[in-house]
Amino acid sequence: MKPRQKRFLYIVIAIAAVGIAVGLVLNALKDNVSLYFTPTQVYNKEAPEGRSFRIGGLVEEGSIKREADGLTVNFVITDLHKTLPVVYKGILPDLFKEGKGVVVQGKMEAGGLMRADEVLAKHDENYMPPEAADALKKAETAAAAANSSSAASPSSGTPGAQ
C-alpha cells in the first residue's frame, strides 16, 4: 500500500471510530439531549420528579383561561394522547396560541399540575402568506365537515380540535 492510501485509510477509520463513539454517547444521553418531555412521558413517569424540567406539546384548543389578575394563565398541554394542566404567571410570547406548539419549563405540583417558570412558543417550519393559510384552514374545515357528515362522528376531524 502506498503511504497516501494508508493515510486515507487512517482518516476513514478515525472518522468511523469517532462517529460510532459519538453516536453511542448521544444515544445513551438521549433523554438529556432532548429539550423537553411529552405529556405521555410524564404520564408514564419517565420525567424527573421533584425537580424542574421542560414539557412540550400543543396548547389544547379552548383550554386557555386567564385569571382576574390578568397575568396568571391556566392552559392544558396535549400531545394528542395525554394532557397536562399548566399554570403560569408572566408574559407569554406572541406566538402562544391555542392549537400551537409550546415548550414549558416548571415543576410538577401535587395533583398533576405543572407550575411553569418559563413558557416558550414553538412554531413550525412552514411559511406562507396569511391568505394561503386561510385557504388551507378553510379547505381543512370543509374536509372535516365532509368527513364528519359521512362518518357521522364529529371527532374524526383535524387532530387537536377535540
Partner 1 sequence: MAINWFKYSAPTTFYGLAGKLIPWFAIPAAILFAVGLYIGFAVAPMDAQQGEFYRIIFIHVPASMLSMFLYMVMAGYAALGLIFNTRLSSMMASAVAPTGALFAFISLWTGALWGKPMWGAWWVWDARMTSELILLFLYLGFIALHASIDDPRRADRASALLAIVGSVNVPIIYFSVKWWNTLHQGSTIKFSGTSMHIAMQQAMFTMLAACWLYAIAVTLARVRSIILERERHTKWIAELAEVRS
Let me know: does 80 contact 61? Beta carbons within 8 Å: no
Residue among 11, 139, 142, 151 that touches partner 1 (CB under 8 A): 11
Residue among 51, 69, 127, 155 that touches partner 1 (CB under 8 A): 127
Residue that has been written with the C-alpha cell 444515544 in this structure: 27
Please say which residue, 109 or 134, places its beta carbon nearer to partner 1: 134
- The alpha carbons of the chain give a radius of gyration, in whole angstroms, of 23
Residue 19 lies near partner 1 (rule: CB under 8 A): yes
Instruction: Please give the residues from 129 up to 148 whose contact with partner 1 meets the rule CB under 8 A.
Output: 129-134
Residue 14 lies near partner 1 (rule: CB under 8 A): yes
Residue among 13, 71, 128, 139 that touches partner 1 (CB under 8 A): 128
Q: Is 100 exposed, middle or buried (0-12, 13-18, 19+ CB in 10 A)?
A: middle
CA distance 48 to 63: 25
Residue 151 lies near partner 1 (rule: CB under 8 A): no
Select from 112, 45, 52, 53 the least CA-distant residue to 84.
112
Instruction: Please give the residues from 52 up to 71 whose contact with partner 1 meets the rule CB under 8 A.
Output: 56
CA 81 to chain CA centroid, nearest Å: 12
Please say which residue, 100 or 107, places its beta carbon nearer to partner 1: 100
